Chain A
Amino acid sequence: MNGKITGILSVLLVLCLSLAAATADPWYKLLESQFLNLDNLMNLLSRLALYGILGIGVAFVIISSGIDLSIGSLVCLCGVLLAILLKVDYQPERPLSVISIEAASRLITVAEAPRSLPAGTVVRFTGGVGSGLVLTVDSVEGDRITVRETLKRDERDGRLVQAVAVTSMSSDGLSLQVPLLNSASVGDQLQLFLPDGAVTTQKIVSVSTAENFTTLGLARDPGSKYRSGASAVLLKRSQRTPIPAAILLVLLIAGGLGLVHGLLITRLHLQPFVVTLCGLLIYRGVSRWLTNDNPAGFGELQQVLGPVASGRVGLAYRGEDMVFGIPIPFFLLLLIAVLAALFLNRTIWGRYLLALGRNEEAARFSGINTARITVLAYVLCSLLAAVGGMLFAIEFSSISPSSFGNSFELYAIAAAVLGGCSLRGGEGSIAGVVTGTAVMQVLNNLIVLLKIPQSLEATIIGAVILLGVLGDELVRRAAARRRLKS
Chain B
Amino acid sequence: MITTADTTPRLEVRGISKSFPGVRALNTVSLRLMLGEVLSVVGENGAGKSTLMKILAGVHSPDTGSLFVNGRPVVLRSVRDAMSHGIALIHQELNLADNLEIGANIFLGREPLRRGLIDNATINTASAELLRRIGLNIPPTALVRSLTTGQQQMVEIAKALSINARVLIMDEPTSSLSAGESERLFHVIRDLRSQGVSILYISHRLAEVQDLSDRVAVLRDGENAGELLRDQISHDSLVRLMVGREISRFFTRTSHQPGPVMLEARDLTTTAWPRHRNSFSIRSGEIVGVAGLVGAGRTEMLRTLFGVDQPLAGEIRVAGRTTLLQCPADAIAAGIALVPEDRKQQGVVLDLSIRRNISLASVHQHSQWGWLNRTVERAQSAEMFQRLRIRAPDDSARTGNLSGGNQQKVVLGKWLALRPRVLLLDEPTRGIDVGAKQEIYQLMDELAGQGLAVLFVSSELEEVIGMSDRVLVMHEGRITGELPRSELTEQSIMHLATCGH
Contact = CB atoms under 8 A, between A and B. Distances in A.
B184 to A, nearest CB: 35
A192 B332 CA distance: 76
B329 A349 contact: no
Contacts of B338: 365
A367 B328 contact: yes
A368 B308 contact: no
B21 interface: no
Interface string B361-392: 10110010011101000000000000000000
Contacts of B340: 365
Interface string B286-306: 000000000000000000001
Interface stretch (A172-180, A246-254, A350-358): A350-358
Contacts of B352: 354-355, 358
A348 B349 contact: no
Given A365-B328, A366-B414, A367-B328, A347 B367 contact: yes
A366 B328 contact: yes
A369 interface: yes
Interface string A364-391: 1111110000000000000000000000
B347 A362 contact: yes
A367 B351 CA distance: 19
B159 to A, nearest CB: 31
Among A346, A367, A369, residue most surrounded by chain B Cβ atoms (within 10 Å)? A367
B371 A367 contact: no
Given A367-B328, A368-B329, A362 B345 contact: yes
Interface in B189-246: none
Interface string B304-316: 0010100000000
B350 interface: yes
A365 B367 contact: no
Given A359-B350, A362-B346, A369 B327 contact: yes
Contacts of B356: 351, 354-355
Contacts of A164: none
A348 B351 contact: no
B345 A361 contact: yes
A366 B345 contact: no
Interface string A454-473: 00000000000000000000
Given A349-B370, A351-B372, A365 B363 contact: no
A72 interface: no
B348 interface: yes
A79 interface: no
A348 B350 contact: no
A409 interface: no
A81 to B, nearest CB: 30
A68 interface: no
A354 B359 CA distance: 13
Contacts of B333: 367
A395 interface: no
Nearest to B414: A366
A188 interface: no
Contact of B351 (A363, A365, A369, A427): A427
B329 A367 contact: yes
A426 interface: yes
A199 B363 CA distance: 71
Contacts of A347: 367, 370-372
A358 B331 CA distance: 23
Given A365-B328, A369-B329, A348 B363 contact: yes
A369 B328 CA distance: 9
Contacts of B328: 364-367
Contacts of A369: 327, 329
Contacts of B364: 348
A347 B372 CA distance: 5
Contacts of B308: 364-365
Given A359-B345, A362-B348, A348 B367 contact: yes
Contacts of B348: 359, 362
Interface string A62-88: 000000000000000000000000000
Given A348-B363, A367-B328, A362 B349 contact: yes
Contacts of B347: 362, 365
A366 B350 contact: no
A364 B371 CA distance: 20
Contacts of B188: none
Contacts of B363: 348, 351
A348 B365 CA distance: 10
Interface string A247-281: 00000000000000000000000000000000000
A218 B165 CA distance: 99
A365 B346 contact: yes
Contacts of B329: 367-369
B349 A359 contact: yes
B307 to A, nearest CB: 9
B443 interface: no
Among A349, A351, A354, residue most surrounded by chain B Cβ atoms (within 10 Å)? A351
Nearest to B377: A351
B483 interface: no
B432 interface: no
B360 interface: yes
Nearest to B401: A483
B120 to A, nearest CB: 33
Given A355-B360, A368-B329, A361 B346 contact: yes
A348 B360 CA distance: 9
Nearest to A349: B370
Nearest to A347: B370
A363 B370 contact: no
Nearest to B374: A346
Nearest to B345: A361
A427 B350 CA distance: 12
B349 A426 contact: yes
Nearest to B350: A359
Contacts of A358: 349-352
Interface in A10-68: none
Contacts of A361: 345-346
A427 to B, nearest CB: 7
A346 B372 contact: yes
7 contacts: A347-B370, A358-B349, A359-B345, A364-B327, A366-B332, A367-B361, A427-B351
Given A354-B352, A358-B352, A362-B347, 13 more contacts: A354-B356, A355-B356, A358-B349, A358-B351, A359-B345, A359-B348, A362-B360, A363-B349, A364-B308, A364-B328, A365-B306, A366-B328, A368-B329
Q: Which 10 A-B pairs have the closest CB atoms?
A: A367-B332, A367-B329, A366-B361, A359-B349, A347-B370, A366-B360, A365-B346, A367-B328, A348-B367, A358-B351
